[in-house]
């Protein structure tokens, strides 16, 4: 267990309560469509503490030098870094095996997990063999439970439009071929989930105590191991990228610039757009004392365009902010959405071509839709508008409509219910290109839970659970799985 309670002391009972004691949820999906996911905290369930200590004992550093490892456990930053490495199974006897392939036949679908305690019990019962399968929110949920059980206050954080910078240049470079296929190494996840742990950092200078970000999802190696953090959130905000641990990677997740290119057949690279503000939207955690979302974006970054923001970029040697310093292009492509986009329905989306010059333009517009996973992996095309030509008068625009039909997207949609829209606008005279994208998450109907009678302690309780099927198809072999800390003994009630 983590000793040195002064290093993890949260001043004030109420601010710290949700980070230590309370089972909760965390927001995922998209900045437009924020929902709460499964309960994550089962640190008080029987046997969980012993399993969490076993997680530390299976750490390669402990297996190599038990005495030194146990001595280092007095430092919360050390324990947090070990947890970050041990929750994934990439290079040790870690708890979870990651899988983003869509094929989960030999394990459990990541969206099916509803409690972290079940995962830890299964890992323990399997003699420290990785549990199949997890994705970012599952890794974070398990790490949160382990951290809290070991005495480290912790909360789960969701970042929307989260960048994955593979070459540490603080820039997300998106390359597309002539048929608009993504051929990039860098990626942007629709959302990504990590942890913040509260502690002092005696290994760093004063001012870096408080919330520390760490990430157990295996993305890149750090010191040869798949782990990330802990890094002071304040260091990320201030652009102090030399601070331990992994500050450049976390900084890029919330503050990288995006630049998009098309690679033509003669290997000519043409810049077609980008954004200095796209990455790092609506950074969120569970609010204290409620199940509402708290926006903590201001903890990670100064407001876009502020004096402080510019100073931070200079400090971070963030010299690749290519977008803001250029004149706006003469052509613009924009995408608009319908207000109601329920899964199972047909709905319209719109691409708008705008001529922001004082001369007429003859343009060609391509507008299509592809299914996509939350980590940016593209799937099949599920809607495409015929190529259209538009004569745009100076300072005017034209709008095109694409109807997305369930009969098409329903056949190829993934568990994430996400569709990526792409509009590509070409000036037929100058060959100038402009590209616009937007990812949408289809709505689902709510599950309604009603308790018809006042429940009594120690007595069985009846619960009515209702879901209205939004699809035109018959749903067969459906089950409701109910979980509750200290209510279901860690076992789902399935009806």
Report d(CA 69, CA 82) in Å as an integer: 10
Which pair of structure tokens corresponds to residue 187?
């990626």
Contact assessment for residue 55 and residue 20, using Cβ atoms and an 8 Å cutoff: no
CB atoms within 10 A of CB 436: 20
- Whether 192 is catalytic is yes
Contact assessment for residue 126 and residue 163, using Cβ atoms and an 8 Å cutoff: no
Beta-bridge partners for 335: 351
Phi, psi of 144 (to 5 degrees): -65, -45
Beta-bridge partners for 371: 419
Contact assessment for residue 129 and residue 209, using Cβ atoms and an 8 Å cutoff: no
Contact assessment for residue 478 and residue 468, using Cβ atoms and an 8 Å cutoff: no
SS3 content of the chain, % helix, strand, coil (to 5): 20, 30, 45
Contact assessment for residue 39 and residue 25, using Cβ atoms and an 8 Å cutoff: yes
Which pair of structure tokens corresponds to residue 412?
């190829």
- Point out the catalytic residue in the list 62, 192, 318, 483: 192
- Whether 348 is catalytic is no
- Point out the catalytic residue in the list 92, 215, 246, 257: 215
Provide DSSP, 125-161.
Answer: HTTSPPEEEE-HHHHHHHHHHHHHHTT--EEEEEEEE
With H, G, I as helix, E, B as strand and everything else as coil, classify residue 397: strand
Nearest to 13 by CA among 295, 288, 234: 288
Report d(CA 190, CA 439) in Å as an integer: 8
- Point out the catalytic residue in the list 52, 136, 228, 363: 136
Distance between the two ends of the chain, CA-based, in angstroms? 39
Report d(CA 40, CA 24) in Å as an integer: 6
Contact assessment for residue 102 and residue 93, using Cβ atoms and an 8 Å cutoff: no
Report whether the peptide linkage leading into residue 230 is cis, meaning its omega lies within 30 degrees of zero: yes
Q: Hey, which residues are catalytic here? A: 136, 192, 215
């Amino acid at each position: 267990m983590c000793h040195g309670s002064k290093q993890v002391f949260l001043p004030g009972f109420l601010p710290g309560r949700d980070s230590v004691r309370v089972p909760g949820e965390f927001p995922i999906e998209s900045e437009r469509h924020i929902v709460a996911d499964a309960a994550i905290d089962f640190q008080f369930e029987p046997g969980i503490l012993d399993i969490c200590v076993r997680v530390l004992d299976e750490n390669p550093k402990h297996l190599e030098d038990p005495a030194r490892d146990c001595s280092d456990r007095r430092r919360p930053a050390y324990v947090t870094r070990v947890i970050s490495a041990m929750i994934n199974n990439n290079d040790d006897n870690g708890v979870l095996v990651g899988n983003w392939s869509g094929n989960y036949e030999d394990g459990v679908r990541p969206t099916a997990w509803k409690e972290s305690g079940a995962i830890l019990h299964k890992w323990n019962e399997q003699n420290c063999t990785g549990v199949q399968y997890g994705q970012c929110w599952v890794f974070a949920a398990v790490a949160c439970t382990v951290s809290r059980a070991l005495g480290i206050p912790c909360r789960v954080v969701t970042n929307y439009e989260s960048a994955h910078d593979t070459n540490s240049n603080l820039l997300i470079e998106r390359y597309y071929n002539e048929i608009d296929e993504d051929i990039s190494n860098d990626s942007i996840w629709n959302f990504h989930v990590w942890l913040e742990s509260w502690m002092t950092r005696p290994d760093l200078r004063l001012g870096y105590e408080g919330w520390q970000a760490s990430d157990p999802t295996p993305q890149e190696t750090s010191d040869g191991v798949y782990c990330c953090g802990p890094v002071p959130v304040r260091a990320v905000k201030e652009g102090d990228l030399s601070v331990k641990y992994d500050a450049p990677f976390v900084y890029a997740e919330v503050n990288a610039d995006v630049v998009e290119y098309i690679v033509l057949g003669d290997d000519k690279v043409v810049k077609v757009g980008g954004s200095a503000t796209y990455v790092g939207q609506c950074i969120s955690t569970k609010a204290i004392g409620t199940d509402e979302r708290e926006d903590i974006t201001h903890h990670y970054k100064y407001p876009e365009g502020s004096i402080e923001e510019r100073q931070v970029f200079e400090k971070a040697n963030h010299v690749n902010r290519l977008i803001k310093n250029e004149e706006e292009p003469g052509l613009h492509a924009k995408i608009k959405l319908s207000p109601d986009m329920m899964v199972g329905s047909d709905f319209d989306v719109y691409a708008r071509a705008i001529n922001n010059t004082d001369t007429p333009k003859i343009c060609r517009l391509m507008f299509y839709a592809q299914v996509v996973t939350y980590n940016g992996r593209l799937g099949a095309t599920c809607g495409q508008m015929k190529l259209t030509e538009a004569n745009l008068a100076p300072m005017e625009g034209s709008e095109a409509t694409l109807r997305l039909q369930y009969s098409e997207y329903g056949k190829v949609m993934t568990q994430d219910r996400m569709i990526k829209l792409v509009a590509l606008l070409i000036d037929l005279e100058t060959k100038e290109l402009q590209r616009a994208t937007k990812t949408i998450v289809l709505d689902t109907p709510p599950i309604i839970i009603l308790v018809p009678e006042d429940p009594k302690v120690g007595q069985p309780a009846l619960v009515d659970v209702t879901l209205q099927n939004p699809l035109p198809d018959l749903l067969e072999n459906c089950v409701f799985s109910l979980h509750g800390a200290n209510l279901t003994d860690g076992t789902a009630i399935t009806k």
